[in-house]
Structure 1
Amino acid sequence: MFLNILAILLNVLWWIIIAQAVMSWLIAFNVINTHNQFVGQLWMVLDRLTEPLYRPFRRIMPDFGGLDLTPMLVLILLIIMQQAVLPYLYQLGVTAGIA
């Protein structure tokens, strides 16, 4: 049960990161304007949810100018967790008799 909840949370986090990345592109190309109240609030919420995840990686990643590859790195780590770590943890739970 715990691993199912964790899998759902990782999936939700995946979509939050995708939404934040797409929104950052739309803002960068002036498709949407952050002066709009709804857009500004949505951007603030997405930024507050994702920035704590990005901060440790931004410290170690080189500067690519205007290109931020941090969301892609975090998504790759989420994929690794979903497809390698979670099945391993589930298997450990099955062998221990708790899953």
Structure 2
Amino acid sequence: MRLLNIYCWILLLSCIFINLCMFGILDSRNQLVWKVGVFFNRLTEPVLEPVRRLLPMPGGIDFSPMVVLLGIQYVVQPILVELFRMLIMR
């Protein structure tokens, strides 16, 4: 459960980071900023890319992070909670 919460925070931070770069607040030519971007990209893209292929992008807005966050919160975590309860009750 804690790993899923950490991943949710990483996903949120990645979205904030991308927006800061897109609006020119962070300079992606800076080596540190670039490395942080690559780090976030490597952590989030394996999960976001399949969702992006399935979702349309109305107006060029990427809703895949929101779909992944909602999926983690309302699908994956409840399934894991029930699985752990079943294992403990055995």
Task: Please report the TM-score for the alignment, with normalisation by the length of structure 2.
Answer: 0.91
Q: Percent identity?
A: 33
- Report the CA distance between 1:63 and its aligned residue: 2.1
- Report the CA distance between 1:61 and its aligned residue: 0.4
Give the corresponding residue for 1:85. Answer: 79
User: 1:27 aligned to 21, 25, 37, which one?
Assistant: 21
4+ long deviations beyond 6 Å: none
- Structure 1: which 5+ runs fail to align? 1-6
The number of residues matched between the two structures is 89
Give the corresponding residue for 2:62. Answer: 68
- Report the CA distance between 1:65 and its aligned residue: 3.3
Once residues 92 and 25 of structure 1 are traced to their aligned partners in structure 2, the CA distance between those partners, rounded to angstroms, is 42
- Structure 2: which 5+ runs fail to align? none
Give the corresponding residue for 1:3. Answer: none
Whichever of the two has the greater Rg, that structure is: 1
Give the corresponding residue for 1:49. Answer: 43
Cα RMSD over matched residues?
1.1
- Report the CA distance between 1:16 and its aligned residue: 0.8
Give the corresponding residue for 1:4. Answer: none
- Report the CA distance between 1:11 and its aligned residue: 1.4
